[in-house]
Chains A and B, each alone.
Chain A
């Protein structure tokens, strides 16, 4: 896409000079007046043509040293320019995605010149400010005409699409204090568990429950043996990640911020349960709606690696399905679970994170 902007002062001076040359040519014929007049008339269109030729023959390639970035961490950005045309490119302005990235060694508005048939490179540090999948680095290039009357900017033909992983934080902790939420006494406990029969044995002590005696083993050993109970989570948790359905190409900074928060919250939620040893089922859109079981740290890492680049719907129907699941809130297999719903559309609103009992 091309944008043209006119400089007020430059335009005013140019028009004044043009008018003067028209007046001059209205009174005098011959070489001097007409060369002045035509020269002034021709300057702008030729500038425009020159700029178009520059843009047509400049090739831009950008890459980052790693495939997957982490939010807030610095990575190395490399931008290559190659001028394959016959005309030098002079003072081409760099337009960066500075709304979503921070840069070291370059800044928005820096200029670069490339001679004909020449290559040039820029190395700089880049820090992605948000998690998610979006274009980073160089957004566009700008050219000015010879006298600064107007400037033309173009979007780069190929952007670099970064997959930025969110940071693992505790922003979800306050939201997810389920025990405090559901415990009517109000006392906070780390874990609420019930005993279930386990496989470990020990000698009977007076006072142990008769039901915990393992009679078979007792008969074999000729003494009373009781089972040591295991702990079982009293609650099963399902986390629904209701992401927004947005076409890849429509991402703007506000949407990126929203997605960043959403992902960070999801990761924080998962981390919250994992470190408490609570198994978690995550229902999230990874192309299609997928249920991910998470009980261990390894499960969490897998989920974390998948999360940033893959949260999307492959069609609007999948989004509808997700929404319906959220509405039904755990009918069927989630019936006896605690349901946690995070809804990207409602980021920073009251209803962003909803905790409820399964139906």
Chain B
């Protein structure tokens, strides 16, 4: 006990002394450096390490001697060691190096001067004041040195020791009576924390804060979403839903309505033939609601391609088989929202057949879509659209042949997606409904306009393009004061909206453009439809999810081109037309031939043997890569879990066995007094464990006589009196042997061992009984 007491009390003082000296020397060096003197970096590090090490070594020796002898004798003994040590130092490289030798002398003088000044300060002032002044002076010097690029502020290990020591010494001066041991603990923690050369980087914090704020906003939206049906009695208003009642201004929000997930490329790159520069383009997808899979449209297109002799190579220029996951967020509608050209739609319950459900889908509803992404701007396709094979007999192409053809050019399992009955039904279907050519309530002036726009056009496709181009001249605006009430669900409504847009307001948004084009197309004898949904342009950067907002809601027309089928157009001037967002895919140049595409000219492909290149990346290929990545990720996750699991097991073992080892170690290094006290603590613990009733521990040992089993009562009576005698006999310097005999120590230990056996037996019995009951 005395040994530990000496160590703890004296060591604190000595360490404080060492740190103070270290800080003073360092401050001196900084002053030296700031005066412009040049000192070798290597040398200074070595010097500091040797100094600190020397001081520490001196202290340890002094303490060790002081335990066994008086302080004067120990000082003398240690001083001789210090002299020997300095001779040893002479033989190191530091002395051998001429430069170092030259540098050591001024440093040595400096250190001596600093030390003398310090001694004088201590003589003149009281001990307390001298300490305070010393530390404050050192603080001032080191702060100035830091801002003047002093040596130690750079972040070296030595500098770390010095600055941490300075902090601890300064803090200890604020409350100089507080035990220095506390400050040593602080010092220990400070050494463990990494220190950066750069200032605090607040970016991650800001990101987290923004993330939290966004989450809060989403939570508020969710709340509004779930309670939106109360009070007003209306369905949750969104950009998409509001298209049913239009004509007036529409408020399109930035609320997320659906979320898209896809593994496909979200953009494309191409080389501009004219300039030779590489460009990037964004993929655009049109999502329509209420139609599900328009199988007749698919059959029409495939038939047209077949009739034009399109093979896979040709088809790959403008058709891509894609997958998309559509997740409903803040959108309450019964419509199935799917991409145009969908060939298969499924949800968690299976295949989706109908385009609309009676009950609204709620947040979290998911649709998995497989669809044909078609580049309607590709000149090879537009050629086909513009030159339909009219009056062809659909019955000539059987279901089997169509299946084979579709499998070949699109890579889809045609028979899995489309049944023979559906195909047969298409063969007898003219392609459009009566309502698609309904022009009731159309004004005379609109009829005239329809004729004027297309009078010079030859084909239906040309007419469509002409009307689209004409309408794109109108001003786009979402703030429209409509004097008519029109609905986009019937011809009459659309006529009113279109009429006002074309001849009165002259401005509108997508609904107006679409209504106008639909009516103008119908007036030209071209069946057309009004489509509502979303128009979404994917960003360039790949994301986990692509949110589609209220302001992405859109309306657009489709026209039925005889010999090809339904084709969508974009008359709204705020958005690009198909031609402007083409993928620019072209066949590879055939050896010896040059094809130059000029505006207005198209290149016609037939079934040739030229090795046309296929697109480099397809959705299937990407999916494979993703699978490999996932597999690698799984391995890493497993490794991580294994390490974490092992770590947890190790921690648990340490926690369980640690106290046992610790106690064992304590027992070994304790003197007799310590051992008896430890045994007594164990005895109390074991009695509590053996006793069946709850024990209130008053700290009075005699209470346990009634609790201990009868056979140990007499022994315990002796033992606790031994314990009391040992613990409370006066005389702090008395070790155990003077109060308690060896035999009494043995008695205590034996009782402890007996109780331990009893304790183990009890728990083995309990375990055995429980085990028997269970099995």
Given A26-B200, A32-B163, CB of A39 within 8 Å of CB of B146: no
| B197 touches which of A30, A49, A117, A118 (Cβ 8 Å) | A30
A182 at the interface (CB under 8 A from B): no
Within 174-215 of B, Cβ neighbours of A (below 8 Å) are at: 174-175, 177-179, 181-182, 185-186, 189-190, 193, 195-200, 202
- Residues in B with CB closer than 8 Å to A29 are 196-199
| B189 touches which of A42, A90, A146 (Cβ 8 Å) | A42
Say whether A43 contacts B171, CB under 8 Å. Answer: yes
Given A22-B200, A161-B698, CB of A31 within 8 Å of CB of B186: no
Given A22-B200, A25-B200, CB of A32 within 8 Å of CB of B153: yes
B1-15 vs A, CB cutoff 8 Å, 1 = contact: the mask equals 110110011000000
Given A31-B160, A88-B179, CB of A36 within 8 Å of CB of B200: no
- Residues in A with CB closer than 8 Å to B154 are 30-31
- Residues in A with CB closer than 8 Å to B181 are 86-88, 116
- Residues in A with CB closer than 8 Å to B152 are 31
Chain B proximity of A329: nearest CB distance (Å): 37
Say whether B4 contacts A86, CB under 8 Å. Answer: yes
- Residues in B with CB closer than 8 Å to A28 are 199
A329 to B159, CA, bound (A): 88
Within 353-405 of B, Cβ neighbours of A (below 8 Å) are at: none
B236 at the interface (CB under 8 A from A): no
- Residues in B with CB closer than 8 Å to A22 are 200
B606 at the interface (CB under 8 A from A): no
Q: Which residue of the partner chain A has the closest CB to B6? A: A117
> Looking at chain B's contact residues, is the secondary structure mostly helix, strand, loop, or mixed?
helix
| B698 touches which of A117, A119, A158 (Cβ 8 Å) | A158
Chain A proximity of B192: nearest CB distance (Å): 10
Say whether B155 contacts A146, CB under 8 Å. Answer: no
A275 to B598, CA, bound (A): 136
A147 to B174, CA, bound (A): 8
- A30, A33, A49, A91 — which one has the most chain B CB atoms within 10 A of its CB? A30
How many B residues touch A, CB cutoff 8 Å? 46
Q: Which residue of the partner chain B has the closest CB to A121? A: B730
Say whether A39 contacts B175, CB under 8 Å. Answer: no
A13-55 vs B, CB cutoff 8 Å, 1 = contact: the mask equals 0000000001001111111111110110011001101100000
B678-722 vs A, CB cutoff 8 Å, 1 = contact: the mask equals 000000000000000000011110000000000000000000000
Say whether A35 contacts B163, CB under 8 Å. Answer: yes
Say whether A36 contacts B5, CB under 8 Å. Answer: no
A60-71 vs B, CB cutoff 8 Å, 1 = contact: the mask equals 010000000000
Chain A proximity of B4: nearest CB distance (Å): 5
Given A26-B199, A38-B193, A90-B178, CB of A46 within 8 Å of CB of B142: no
- Residues in A with CB closer than 8 Å to B185 are 46, 49-50
B68 at the interface (CB under 8 A from A): no
Q: Which residue of the partner chain B has the closest CB to A60? A: B699
A189 to B770, CA, bound (A): 75
- Residues in B with CB closer than 8 Å to A61 are 699, 728
- Residues in B with CB closer than 8 Å to A88 are 8-9, 179, 181
- Residues in A with CB closer than 8 Å to B174 are 146-147
Say whether B190 contacts A39, CB under 8 Å. Answer: yes
Within 230-247 of A, Cβ neighbours of B (below 8 Å) are at: none
Given A26-B199, A27-B199, A161-B698, CB of A146 within 8 Å of CB of B171: yes
Chain B proximity of A59: nearest CB distance (Å): 9
Chain B proximity of A40: nearest CB distance (Å): 9
B80 at the interface (CB under 8 A from A): no
| B202 touches which of A26, A157, A161 (Cβ 8 Å) | A26
Say whether B177 contacts A31, CB under 8 Å. Answer: no
Say whether A42 contacts B190, CB under 8 Å. Answer: yes
Chain B proximity of A5: nearest CB distance (Å): 18
A115 at the interface (CB under 8 A from B): yes
Q: Which residue of the partner chain A has the closest CB to B174? A: A147
A29 to B199, CA, bound (A): 4
Say whether A30 contacts B146, CB under 8 Å. Answer: yes
| B732 touches which of A35, A36, A118 (Cβ 8 Å) | A118
Chain B proximity of A1: nearest CB distance (Å): 15
Q: How large is the interface on A (under 10, 10 to 19, 20 to 34, 35 or more residues)?
A: 35 or more
A92 to B399, CA, bound (A): 95
- Residues in B with CB closer than 8 Å to A359 are none
| A50 touches which of B1, B9, B143, B182 (Cβ 8 Å) | B182
A80 at the interface (CB under 8 A from B): yes
Chain A proximity of B678: nearest CB distance (Å): 11
B114 at the interface (CB under 8 A from A): no
Chain B proximity of A144: nearest CB distance (Å): 9
A73-103 vs B, CB cutoff 8 Å, 1 = contact: the mask equals 0000000100000111011000000000000
Within 1-57 of B, Cβ neighbours of A (below 8 Å) are at: 1-2, 4-5, 8-9
Q: Which residue of the partner chain B has the closest CB to A82? A: B727
A31 to B150, CA, bound (A): 11
B432 at the interface (CB under 8 A from A): no
Say whether B167 contacts A30, CB under 8 Å. Answer: no
- Residues in B with CB closer than 8 Å to A115 are 5, 8-9
B164 at the interface (CB under 8 A from A): yes
Chain A proximity of B352: nearest CB distance (Å): 55
- Residues in A with CB closer than 8 Å to B700 are 158
| B195 touches which of A34, A43, A119, A147 (Cβ 8 Å) | A34
A29 to B155, CA, bound (A): 10
A29 to B175, CA, bound (A): 28
A73 to B186, CA, bound (A): 49
Say whether B199 contacts A116, CB under 8 Å. Answer: no
Say whether A32 contacts B190, CB under 8 Å. Answer: no
Say whether A30 contacts B153, CB under 8 Å. Answer: yes
Chain A proximity of B348: nearest CB distance (Å): 50
Within 138-172 of A, Cβ neighbours of B (below 8 Å) are at: 146-148, 157-159, 161
Chain A proximity of B227: nearest CB distance (Å): 40
Q: Which residue of the partner chain A has the closest CB to B193? A: A38
Say whether B146 contacts A146, CB under 8 Å. Answer: no
- A28, A35, A50, A91 — which one has the most chain B CB atoms within 10 A of its CB? A35
| A87 touches which of B179, B195, B198 (Cβ 8 Å) | B179
| B179 touches which of A34, A36, A90 (Cβ 8 Å) | A90
| A116 touches which of B9, B160, B177, B200 (Cβ 8 Å) | B9
- Residues in B with CB closer than 8 Å to A30 are 146, 153-155, 195, 197
Say whether B732 contacts A119, CB under 8 Å. Answer: yes
Say whether A86 contacts B186, CB under 8 Å. Answer: no
Within 111-138 of A, Cβ neighbours of B (below 8 Å) are at: 115-119
Say whether A116 contacts B5, CB under 8 Å. Answer: yes
A77 to B2, CA, bound (A): 28
- Residues in B with CB closer than 8 Å to A117 are 1-2, 4-5, 8
Say whether A32 contacts B732, CB under 8 Å. Answer: no
Say whether A39 contacts B171, CB under 8 Å. Answer: yes
- Residues in B with CB closer than 8 Å to A50 are 182, 185
A146 to B697, CA, bound (A): 33
Say whether A46 contacts B189, CB under 8 Å. Answer: yes
- Residues in B with CB closer than 8 Å to A87 are 8, 179, 181-182
- Residues in B with CB closer than 8 Å to A159 are 698
- Residues in A with CB closer than 8 Å to B196 are 29, 34
Say whether A32 contacts B728, CB under 8 Å. Answer: no
Say whether A31 contacts B199, CB under 8 Å. Answer: no
Chain B proximity of A134: nearest CB distance (Å): 13
Chain B proximity of A263: nearest CB distance (Å): 22
Sample of 21 A–B contacts (CB below 8 Å): A25-B200, A29-B198, A35-B164, A35-B166, A35-B167, A38-B190, A39-B186, A43-B186, A46-B189, A50-B182, A86-B8, A86-B181, A87-B8, A116-B9, A116-B181, A118-B5, A118-B732, A146-B171, A148-B175, A157-B699, A158-B697
Task: Pick the 10 closest A-B CB pairs, nearest first.
Answer: A158-B699, A117-B5, A88-B179, A116-B8, A29-B198, A31-B163, A34-B195, A32-B146, A35-B163, A39-B167
- Given contact pairs A25-B200, A50-B182, A146-B171, a sample of 13 additional A-B residue pairs in the complex whose CB atoms are under 8 Å apart: A30-B154, A31-B153, A32-B163, A35-B167, A38-B190, A39-B171, A61-B699, A86-B181, A90-B178, A116-B8, A117-B8, A158-B699, A161-B698
